[in-house]
């Protein structure tokens, strides 16, 4: 039976092209959405869901949920 590992990235929008990413408190990067998602894909992560956090009627944070098979 396939086993999975999971990770979550959160981010805040700096401007339309740059977002500040937080990898569960491990690393912080400023890069575009496409660049960050491409990087995660190259590491074997599959995007499975996106959710948002809203404050005062505006989306202030996005959460990206990933999974990848555990190599045994």
The tens digit of pLDDT for each residue in 11-29 reads 877 666 667 777 766 667 7
> Rounded mean pLDDT of 46-53?
94
Domains of the chain: 4-69 (3.30.1410.10)
pLDDT for residue 14 = 66
**Torsion sign over Cα 40, 41, 43, 49:** positive
| Beta strand spans in 1-72 (E) | 4-13, 19-22, 28-31, 46-55, 58-69
Q: What is the mean pLDDT of the chain?
A: 85
Residue 61 phi, psi (nearest 5): -155, 145
For the chain, the residue count is 72
> Rounded mean pLDDT of 21-47?
84
Q: Parallel, antiparallel, or unpaired: how do β-strands 28-31 and 19-22 relate?
A: antiparallel
> Rounded mean pLDDT of 36-56?
92
């Amino acid at each position: 039976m396939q086993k999975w590992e999971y990770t979550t990235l959160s981010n805040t929008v700096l401007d339309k092209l740059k977002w500040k990413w937080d990898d569960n408190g491990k690393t912080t990067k400023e890069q575009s959405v496409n660049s960050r998602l491409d990087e995660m894909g190259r590491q074997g992560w599959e995007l499975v869901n996106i959710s948002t956090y809203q404050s005062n009627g505006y989306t202030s944070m996005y959460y990206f949920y990933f999974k990848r098979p555990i190599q045994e």
